[in-house]
Chains A and B, each alone.
Chain A
Amino acid sequence: MSTEVKEVLKQVGGPRSSELDAPLSSKRMLVNLGPSHPAMHGTARAVVELEGENIASCKLDIGFLHRGFEKSCESVTWTQVFPYTDRLNYVSSIMNNVGFALAVEKLCKLEVPERAQYLRTITSEIHRICDHLTLVGALGLELGAMTVFLYAIEGRDLLWDRLTELCGARLTSNYARIGGVSRDVPEGWIEKTETTLDRVVLLRDEIDGLLARNRIFYDRTRGVGTVSRADAIDLGFTGPCLRASGEAYDLRKAAPYLVYDRLDFDIPVGSNGDTYDRYLIRIEEMKQSDKMLRQCFRDMAPGELVVRDFRYVLPPKPEVYGTIEGVMAHFKLIMEGIQVPAGEVYGYTEAANGELGFYLVSDGSGRPYKIGLRAPGWPMLAALPIILHGALLSDLVPVFDSINMIGGEVEQ
């Protein structure tokens, strides 16, 4: 190259080596995932801005399942709120029942009979297994391993069958009542449930065998969607997602309710806070729930199912037909609802996804004055755009799945 050319190049600022390393300017692509999309549980929409396949930003648009839960509850009696709670986390509906019942009982200062407490624990833990099975199965499904999903669904439906025998509904099972539970277990139910649990254990181990040591699954989930312990606490995580990040916080241990203080179980804790840990936590919690259930079956003694206080619980039918007090109590409870003492309370339980909180305000009438819900999935869902920043589009699906957003509870 002649010196003149070099001079000219110097003047016009010719090619520099660093320009080769400069990033190519590219256009961002806006992709809508949902509201109807195979991976969006329930109905949610993610507006994803892509740079190639990297997520530059992700906005979540929820509300497609909004039913006005909190407002609807204000116009019905306390008892009539229960069916609404079934539809919060519809995969584990009895847990919502129990959470709401415990909050109301806290306000009423009611002590529930021991057998009812055991039954509430049993149904809650069965539903915890259902919830975790659904999540683990869906995680497999969304990564393309459909067989895992069908194994999980088989286990879940067997458990749902048992709950159907208990309370008559498969999905929106409604079991807890203020002051106790609606009915006792049928004849031979416990043995049947133990058989079912044995089958679920087999299926769970099969699922774990297919996924946990699978190199592809490991690569797809390890280090993906990582949330550090400090971040998880700051973002308000609770439940398995928080524990996967390394914080051993579980309300069943931290603030025991029902009979959890009498049961022997461990709280699994992860170390990385990634999708893989969230998966492992779920598998481990299913094992712990199984253990708890068998303890409950062993320890449960016959006894009362509801408190004998007709201000809160319907009197038995012979008394309604035979005594004037019975008729009066029945009439008042049906027509006016339970007279919950005026005041406010925050009741919290450990649901399958985390802390399920009910904030109740009562003005002493038969209907709630105000109900506020702390949905466990909400903080995790809100954190999704932060977790996913810079991830690949393919990672959105497993991460979205592993936080287990349930439309019903997030969109109250």
Chain B
Amino acid sequence: MKRFFGMSLTLALLVGFLVLLSAGFYWAAAGLGWGFNALSISFGWNPPGTVSTAAVSYGAAVGNLLTLMMVVLMISGSMLTVAERKWSALLQNRIGANRITVGGNPLGGIPYLLADALKMLTKEAAAPDVRNRLLFELAPVLAFAPVFCLFAIVPVGPAVDLGNFFGVAAAGKSVSLQVAQIDAGLLYLFAIASLSVYGTSLAGWASNNKLALLGGVRAASQMISYEVSMGVSLVGTMMAYRTLRLEEMVVAQGAPVLGGFPALGLLLQPIGFLIFFTSGFAETKRAPFDLPEGESEIVGYFIEYSGMKFGMMFLAEFLEIAVFAGVITAIFLGGWHPLVFEETLRQNLQPIWFAAVCGGAFLVKMILLMWLQLVIRWLLPRFRYDQVQKLCWKILLPASLVNVFVTGAAILIDPSLQLLAWIGLGTIIVIGVLVGASGRQAAATDGHAAHGAAHAGGH
């Protein structure tokens, strides 16, 4: 009981911390937006006393670049390396990393973050002589950079009027926790997401190592498998919310359907969610889709990399988890909508604090999704590459095409999304029943023929 209270308290503190953090992010974005405006006035680009939209949005973008990409993404990426150790330890009845202590306290393994970084940076960067030098050096960068770019379109918090920060003088312009609000939205997502495979493939190719080459080829074959279904799986959401922009999708998810329930992507597009989650998992190249690594077979595409070059590929994987969690949150889990007490919060809090709570809600959802990904990674065995191809081409792609068709028909018949929501609800129930039923059946029917025969055999 004591433990339960302790854990609840810790969780509450964590949520409070995240809310404060996002309030800080808002101030940073607003401050820089205001500062850029002041600069632009001092250069004489816009008359004194006015607020330039361009200056504010550039300033806010720079602020978000620093806070969201450097703080949120980098910290969650590097914390995930520790979380992977500790959470997997929880799963496996172990204690996990606790040898580095600060004043006798292991601090939940967090000091390992520094130790690991230091180790990676000071390690000898051994590289094979026969490598293709340019590509070999380029590959870690190509694995790392696109992941960062992806986070640019993730809307962490809602737009807040600048007037709330700096009085009436600045009213009319808004800042939000999103680096870039671009029209292409999801298309940008697909374009950049598929770039990261170049890092993997080139690393495999340029290492001039047979095992690494196999890893690189597997990465490429996996990419062409999941990429199609990944793209098609989101077409349904594009149609339902009538936009490609992630921030507009999030706003649209606040609209009530089915008598007041928010129109979450998960509710409207359960099939799309499952397919996108699976394909996205393949994108992160982690178990059960860790074929390019396949540590027990081919050791991995990064077999020839050492030091920070390996570290970047390693970190890129974790960053992908964080980005992927952010994207799913935005598209399927209602983004920054707190979902509970939303109206009460909106009415009783100042706009800045309401936005901060929303930002906190986004981060909480993101952490939950990252946790889910780690749990899946530690429980499932690895696919074989032909099985991934079969899964993607024969199951996911047809399913996502059917999903597009059904979604389109439902929206055509009932543009208010009610029908789509009912269909989604039905799908969720059917999937739940199927999963429950197959979980029980398996023991009795197929797959355990050998078990049955086992008892018959005897003497």
Contacts and interface: CB of A to CB of B under 8 A. Distances in A.
Interface stretch (B43-51, B57-65, B330-338, B440-448): B440-448
B453 interface: yes
Contacts of B382: 143-145, 216, 220, 394
Contacts of B383: 216, 219-220
A266 interface: yes
A141 interface: yes
Given A38-B295, A53-B385, A267-B457, A144 B443 contact: no
Nearest to B438: A213
B66 interface: no
Interface stretch (B86-94, B266-274, B400-408): B86-94
Contact of A392 (B94, B211, B296, B384): B384
Interface residues on A, range: 35 or more
A77 B445 CA distance: 56
B41 interface: no
B387 interface: yes
Contacts of B299: 37-38
Given A38-B296, A394-B297, A248 B447 contact: no
A154 B92 CA distance: 9
A65 interface: no
B451 interface: yes
Nearest to A32: B210
Nearest to B379: A147
A4 B447 CA distance: 63
Contacts, number: 129
Contacts of A344: none
A195 interface: no
Interface string B67-93: 000000000000000000000100111
B6 interface: no
B453 A144 contact: no
Interface stretch (A16-24, A276-284, A300-308): A276-284
Contact of A268 (B211, B387, B448, B457): B457
A80 interface: no
Contacts of B290: 144
A266 B297 contact: no
A144 B450 contact: no
A213 B443 contact: yes
A212 interface: yes
A392 B386 contact: yes
Interface in A259-277: 266-272, 276-277
Contacts of B384: 219-220, 392, 394-395
B459 A280 contact: no
Contacts of A272: 450
Interface string A384-412: 00000000111111000000000000000
Contacts of A29: 210
15 contacts: A30-B210, A31-B210, A143-B381, A144-B290, A146-B92, A146-B378, A147-B378, A216-B383, A216-B387, A266-B457, A266-B458, A269-B456, A277-B450, A280-B454, A284-B454
Given A144-B381, A394-B382, 18 more contacts: A38-B296, A38-B299, A144-B295, A146-B88, A147-B379, A150-B93, A151-B92, A214-B380, A216-B288, A217-B381, A244-B450, A267-B459, A268-B454, A270-B450, A270-B453, A271-B449, A271-B453, A393-B298
Interface of A: 29-31, 37-39, 53, 140-147, 150-151, 154, 210-214, 216-220, 222, 243-244, 248, 253, 266-272, 276-277, 280-281, 284, 392-397
